[in-house]
Amino acid sequence: MWNITLNLLSGFGVTCLIFILTLVFALPLGLLIAFGGMSSFKPLSYLIKTIVWVVRGTPLMLQVMVVFYAPAFLLGWSGLQCTAATVVAFVINYACYFSEIYRGGIQSITKGQYEAGQVLGMTKSQIFSKVVLLQVIKRIIAPMSNEIITLVKDTSLARVIATEEILFVAFNRYVSKGIIWPLFYSGAFYLLFVGILTIIFNKLEKKLSYFKA
Protein backbone atom coordinates (compact mmCIF):
# COMPACT_ATOMS: atom_id res chain seq x y z
CA MET A 1 0.00 0.00 0.00
CA TRP A 2 2.76 2.45 1.03
CA ASN A 3 4.85 1.34 -1.91
CA ILE A 4 1.98 1.88 -4.32
CA THR A 5 1.31 5.32 -2.82
CA LEU A 6 4.95 6.26 -3.37
CA ASN A 7 4.90 5.05 -6.96
CA LEU A 8 1.67 6.92 -7.67
CA LEU A 9 3.15 10.00 -6.02
CA SER A 10 6.14 9.92 -8.36
CA GLY A 11 3.66 9.80 -11.24
CA PHE A 12 1.73 12.62 -9.64
CA GLY A 13 4.97 14.61 -9.56
CA VAL A 14 5.09 14.41 -13.36
CA THR A 15 1.42 15.42 -13.47
CA CYS A 16 2.18 18.50 -11.34
CA LEU A 17 5.24 19.32 -13.42
CA ILE A 18 3.16 19.33 -16.62
CA PHE A 19 0.50 21.40 -14.86
CA ILE A 20 2.89 24.05 -13.51
CA LEU A 21 5.00 24.41 -16.67
CA THR A 22 1.86 24.68 -18.78
CA LEU A 23 0.52 27.49 -16.60
CA VAL A 24 3.85 29.34 -16.44
CA PHE A 25 4.17 29.46 -20.23
CA ALA A 26 0.55 29.43 -21.39
CA LEU A 27 -0.69 32.33 -19.22
CA PRO A 28 1.60 34.99 -20.80
CA LEU A 29 1.52 33.35 -24.24
CA GLY A 30 -2.29 33.44 -24.13
CA LEU A 31 -2.21 37.19 -23.56
CA LEU A 32 0.11 37.68 -26.54
CA ILE A 33 -2.20 35.57 -28.70
CA ALA A 34 -5.18 37.59 -27.48
CA PHE A 35 -3.47 40.84 -28.52
CA GLY A 36 -2.50 39.31 -31.86
CA GLY A 37 -6.07 38.24 -32.51
CA MET A 38 -7.38 41.73 -31.72
CA SER A 39 -4.68 43.46 -33.74
CA SER A 40 -5.83 45.96 -36.37
CA PHE A 41 -3.14 44.56 -38.69
CA LYS A 42 -5.44 42.16 -40.57
CA PRO A 43 -2.96 39.48 -41.76
CA LEU A 44 -1.75 38.98 -38.18
CA SER A 45 -5.21 38.75 -36.70
CA TYR A 46 -6.32 36.28 -39.42
CA LEU A 47 -3.22 34.16 -38.86
CA ILE A 48 -3.81 34.08 -35.11
CA LYS A 49 -7.50 33.31 -35.57
CA THR A 50 -6.61 30.42 -37.88
CA ILE A 51 -4.14 29.01 -35.38
CA VAL A 52 -6.68 29.30 -32.58
CA TRP A 53 -9.26 27.59 -34.80
CA VAL A 54 -6.93 24.67 -35.55
CA VAL A 55 -5.75 24.25 -31.96
CA ARG A 56 -9.23 24.48 -30.46
CA GLY A 57 -10.70 22.43 -33.28
CA THR A 58 -8.54 19.33 -32.86
CA PRO A 59 -8.29 16.97 -29.89
CA LEU A 60 -5.50 17.69 -27.40
CA MET A 61 -4.58 14.00 -27.47
CA LEU A 62 -3.90 14.30 -31.21
CA GLN A 63 -1.82 17.45 -30.68
CA VAL A 64 0.33 15.67 -28.10
CA MET A 65 0.99 12.91 -30.61
CA VAL A 66 1.78 15.38 -33.39
CA VAL A 67 4.30 17.30 -31.27
CA PHE A 68 5.95 14.04 -30.21
CA TYR A 69 6.05 12.22 -33.56
CA ALA A 70 5.94 14.87 -36.30
CA PRO A 71 9.57 16.09 -35.95
CA ALA A 72 10.76 12.49 -36.22
CA PHE A 73 8.68 11.68 -39.30
CA LEU A 74 9.08 14.98 -41.13
CA LEU A 75 12.67 15.90 -40.33
CA GLY A 76 14.17 12.63 -39.19
CA TRP A 77 15.02 14.39 -35.93
CA SER A 78 14.45 12.23 -32.89
CA GLY A 79 12.56 15.13 -31.35
CA LEU A 80 11.58 16.01 -27.81
CA GLN A 81 11.48 13.73 -24.81
CA CYS A 82 7.95 12.69 -23.94
CA THR A 83 7.47 15.07 -20.99
CA ALA A 84 8.88 18.01 -22.95
CA ALA A 85 6.66 17.19 -25.94
CA THR A 86 3.66 17.01 -23.63
CA VAL A 87 4.42 20.42 -22.15
CA VAL A 88 4.86 22.01 -25.59
CA ALA A 89 1.53 20.64 -26.81
CA PHE A 90 -0.24 21.65 -23.60
CA VAL A 91 1.22 25.18 -23.65
CA ILE A 92 0.06 25.76 -27.24
CA ASN A 93 -3.36 24.29 -26.58
CA TYR A 94 -4.02 26.10 -23.32
CA ALA A 95 -2.58 29.41 -24.54
CA CYS A 96 -5.24 29.38 -27.28
CA TYR A 97 -8.06 28.73 -24.82
CA PHE A 98 -6.67 31.33 -22.41
CA SER A 99 -6.39 33.86 -25.24
CA GLU A 100 -10.13 33.65 -25.87
CA ILE A 101 -10.84 34.18 -22.18
CA TYR A 102 -8.50 37.19 -22.14
CA ARG A 103 -10.14 38.55 -25.28
CA GLY A 104 -13.59 38.22 -23.73
CA GLY A 105 -12.37 40.00 -20.62
CA ILE A 106 -10.63 42.80 -22.49
CA GLN A 107 -13.55 43.43 -24.83
CA SER A 108 -15.99 43.51 -21.92
CA ILE A 109 -14.44 46.79 -20.74
CA THR A 110 -16.60 49.62 -22.05
CA LYS A 111 -15.28 52.06 -24.61
CA GLY A 112 -16.09 54.91 -22.24
CA GLN A 113 -13.25 53.92 -19.94
CA TYR A 114 -10.71 54.15 -22.77
CA GLU A 115 -12.12 57.52 -23.75
CA ALA A 116 -11.98 58.74 -20.16
CA GLY A 117 -8.33 57.67 -20.01
CA GLN A 118 -7.58 59.54 -23.21
CA VAL A 119 -9.26 62.66 -21.87
CA LEU A 120 -7.03 62.45 -18.81
CA GLY A 121 -4.01 62.34 -21.14
CA MET A 122 -3.00 58.73 -20.52
CA THR A 123 -1.15 56.79 -23.19
CA LYS A 124 -2.59 53.60 -24.66
CA SER A 125 -0.34 51.35 -22.61
CA GLN A 126 -1.07 53.35 -19.44
CA ILE A 127 -4.79 52.91 -20.00
CA PHE A 128 -4.32 49.19 -20.44
CA SER A 129 -2.06 48.58 -17.46
CA LYS A 130 -3.64 51.04 -15.00
CA VAL A 131 -7.33 50.93 -15.91
CA VAL A 132 -8.23 47.89 -17.99
CA LEU A 133 -5.97 45.06 -16.80
CA LEU A 134 -7.11 44.90 -13.17
CA GLN A 135 -10.76 44.80 -14.17
CA VAL A 136 -9.99 42.12 -16.75
CA ILE A 137 -8.27 39.93 -14.17
CA LYS A 138 -11.28 40.27 -11.91
CA ARG A 139 -13.71 39.36 -14.63
CA ILE A 140 -11.85 36.37 -16.04
CA ILE A 141 -11.08 34.67 -12.77
CA ALA A 142 -14.13 32.38 -12.88
CA PRO A 143 -13.65 31.13 -16.48
CA MET A 144 -9.89 30.87 -15.86
CA SER A 145 -10.30 28.70 -12.79
CA ASN A 146 -12.60 26.48 -14.82
CA GLU A 147 -9.96 26.05 -17.52
CA ILE A 148 -7.15 25.52 -15.00
CA ILE A 149 -9.09 22.80 -13.20
CA THR A 150 -9.69 21.10 -16.55
CA LEU A 151 -5.93 21.29 -17.14
CA VAL A 152 -5.26 19.23 -14.00
CA LYS A 153 -7.22 16.35 -15.44
CA ASP A 154 -6.17 16.83 -19.07
CA THR A 155 -2.61 15.97 -18.04
CA SER A 156 -3.75 12.35 -18.10
CA LEU A 157 -3.84 12.56 -21.93
CA ALA A 158 -0.03 12.56 -21.89
CA ARG A 159 -0.36 8.82 -21.40
CA VAL A 160 -0.68 8.34 -25.19
CA ILE A 161 3.03 8.98 -25.65
CA ALA A 162 3.96 7.02 -22.53
CA THR A 163 4.67 10.03 -20.32
CA GLU A 164 4.84 8.59 -16.83
CA GLU A 165 2.11 10.66 -15.22
CA ILE A 166 -0.03 9.22 -12.45
CA LEU A 167 -2.63 7.47 -14.61
CA PHE A 168 0.10 5.90 -16.73
CA VAL A 169 1.70 4.55 -13.56
CA ALA A 170 -1.63 3.22 -12.31
CA PHE A 171 -2.38 1.50 -15.63
CA ASN A 172 1.03 0.23 -16.64
CA ARG A 173 2.41 -0.78 -13.24
CA TYR A 174 -0.73 -2.15 -11.61
CA VAL A 175 -3.72 -2.69 -13.88
CA SER A 176 -1.43 -4.52 -16.31
CA LYS A 177 -0.68 -6.99 -13.52
CA GLY A 178 -4.31 -7.40 -12.57
CA ILE A 179 -4.25 -5.01 -9.60
CA ILE A 180 -7.11 -2.62 -10.25
CA TRP A 181 -7.63 -0.54 -7.12
CA PRO A 182 -4.63 1.84 -7.65
CA LEU A 183 -6.50 3.12 -10.71
CA PHE A 184 -9.32 4.43 -8.53
CA TYR A 185 -6.91 5.44 -5.79
CA SER A 186 -5.18 7.74 -8.32
CA GLY A 187 -8.49 9.61 -8.62
CA ALA A 188 -8.05 10.73 -5.01
CA PHE A 189 -4.84 12.56 -5.94
CA TYR A 190 -6.64 14.59 -8.62
CA LEU A 191 -9.53 15.25 -6.26
CA LEU A 192 -7.24 16.56 -3.55
CA PHE A 193 -5.34 18.77 -5.98
CA VAL A 194 -8.50 20.25 -7.49
CA GLY A 195 -9.89 20.77 -3.97
CA ILE A 196 -6.87 22.88 -3.04
CA LEU A 197 -7.11 24.84 -6.30
CA THR A 198 -10.81 25.52 -5.70
CA ILE A 199 -10.08 26.97 -2.27
CA ILE A 200 -7.30 29.16 -3.71
CA PHE A 201 -9.55 30.48 -6.48
CA ASN A 202 -12.38 31.21 -4.04
CA LYS A 203 -10.01 33.19 -1.83
CA LEU A 204 -8.66 35.04 -4.86
CA GLU A 205 -12.15 35.88 -6.08
CA LYS A 206 -13.09 37.29 -2.67
CA LYS A 207 -9.90 39.31 -2.48
CA LEU A 208 -10.53 40.82 -5.90
CA SER A 209 -14.16 41.72 -5.30
CA TYR A 210 -13.20 45.16 -3.97
CA PHE A 211 -15.26 47.13 -6.48
CA LYS A 212 -18.49 45.63 -5.22
CA ALA A 213 -20.36 47.69 -2.71
Query: Which residues contact another protein (rule: CB under 8 A)?
Result: 50, 54, 65, 68-70, 72-76, 78-79, 159-162, 164, 171-173, 175-181
Residue 81 or 146 with smaller CB distance to another protein:
81
How far lies 7's CA from each of 107, 156, 172, in Å?
Answer: 46, 16, 11
Residue 118 or 181 with smaller CB distance to another protein:
181
Type of residue at 74: L
Least CB distance to another protein at residue 68 (A): 8
Residue 127 or 161 with smaller CB distance to another protein:
161
Least CB distance to another protein at residue 171 (A): 7
Residue 111 or 177 with smaller CB distance to another protein:
177
Residue 28 or 181 with smaller CB distance to another protein:
181
Least CB distance to another protein at residue 172 (A): 5
Least CB distance to another protein at residue 154 (A): 17
Angle at 14 between CA 161 and CA 68, to 5 degrees: 25
Q: Which of 104, 99, 135 is nearest to 117 (CA)?
A: 135
Least CB distance to another protein at residue 184 (A): 11
Helices (H), the chain: 2-38, 42-57, 60-75, 82-107, 111-119, 124-126, 133-154, 166-169, 181-207
Least CB distance to another protein at residue 162 (A): 5
Residue 95 or 161 with smaller CB distance to another protein:
161
- Please say whether the beta carbons of 33 and 52 come within 8 A: yes
> In this structure, which long-range contacts are made by residues 3-6, counting pairs with CB atoms below 8 Å and at least 24 apart in sequence?
4/174, 4/182, 4/185, 5/185
CA distance 141 to 137: 6
